[in-house]
Amino acid sequence: MNFEGVHTPLVTPFNADGEINHDLLGKHAADLAGRVAGLGIGGTTGEYYALSFDERVRTFNTVAEAAGGKTVLTAGINATTTKEVIRLGQEAKRAGLSALLVAAPYYAQPTQGELLAHLLKVDDTLDMPIMLYNFPARTGTEISDGILETLLERPNFIAMKESTGDISHLHHLATRFGDRLVLSCGMDDQALEFFVWGTRSWVGGASNFLPEAHTALFDACVKRRDFASGRELMAKLLPVLELLERSGKFIQYVRYGCELAGLPVGAARAPLGSLSEEERNAFAQIVKPLMRNDQ
């Protein structure tokens, strides 16, 4: 288990009444299973924070049934308490998922000592490969060097999705931990920079609707080390990725991207709203040319 390649954090499709469309979720997972290196269930893109415990568990089972054995499946199990994280992890393990994505519990803002105890407890209880998720803008708590030093003494802590957006922090992680930690790009508009610094993993929300464009960039930079081609490919993707990362409407744009790709996944759950007609039209203009090549 090395988390290499493009991993798609699956969007959660909703019906018009706001309930999860499990048939569409399974279909989407099965379709992507042969097109990317792995799938994530219960990540930010899937709006895990807006789902009940039972809804999250059912999404694990839906994707496992649709795509299990066809690709790597990673369960996002973040929650506000250690008990809830472990319960979710146990359900993911029961469903047969391959690995876990674990962030700092959001809103609670534990100290670094408390966060370390939390992560060790999760590992002690679940004993599964883990990708950490460093996203302090959402969780309120960073995963520090001190925590990494301790966790990397254990075999299950393999990777970290780095989503601070701070290029200097990417440099720091790559030079200090690069030989012990699989770094995964978690800031999509910086993917090229991550690859230059040796990253071999990318968890990209827009791969829900542009999987081939993502894998083409990954293959050029990581597999062939052809950064001239990588720059050309990134230049085409960059307007889409910058809008997702910088607009404050990441989930809404991913959902509309899926609609443009022929996969209507419904609106985000409130309090998130929908895109304006102007936003939809502008996004379609930059996405549709990429979709013609994303087959």
Mean pLDDT of 80-100: 98
User: How far is Cα 11 from Cα 13, in angstroms, rounded to an integer?
Assistant: 6
Tokens coding 186? 């978690």
User: How far is Cα 259 from Cα 49, in angstroms, rounded to an integer?
Assistant: 22
pLDDT at residue 292 greater than cutoff 80: no
pLDDT at residue 112 greater than cutoff 70: yes
- pLDDT band at residue 1 under the 50/70/90 scheme: confident
**CB neighbours of residue 34 within 10 Å:** 10
Which residues are CB-neighbours of 234 under 8 A, at least 6 positions away?
191, 192, 217
Q: Which of 93, 107, 121, 133 is catalytic?
A: 133
**CB neighbours of residue 155 within 10 Å:** 10
Backbone phi and psi for residue 38, each to the nearest 5 degrees, phi listed first: -165, 165
Which of 275, 252, 247 shows the shortest CA–CA distance to 265? 252
Predicted TM-score (pTM) of this structure? 0.96
Backbone phi and psi for residue 103, each to the nearest 5 degrees, phi listed first: -110, 175
| Ranges 1-5, 23-27, 227-231: which has the least confidence | 1-5
- In this predicted structure, what is the pLDDT of residue 293? 66
Mean pLDDT of 244-253: 96
Q: Which of 48, 93, 161, 253 is catalytic?
A: 161
48 is catalytic: no
288 is catalytic: no
All structural domains of the chain with their residue ranges:
5-291
- pLDDT band at residue 76 under the 50/70/90 scheme: very high
Q: CB-side exposure of 118: number of CA atoms within 13 Å?
A: 26
DSSP-H helix ranges across the chain: 22-33, 53-67, 82-95, 112-126, 136-139, 145-151, 167-177, 191-196, 211-218, 227-246, 250-260, 277-291
pLDDT in tens, 173-221: 999 999 999 999 999 999 999 999 999 999 999 999 999 999 999 999 9
Query: Which amino acid is residue 158, in one-letter code?
Result: I
Class of domain 5-291: alpha beta
Look-up of token digits 């569409």: 24
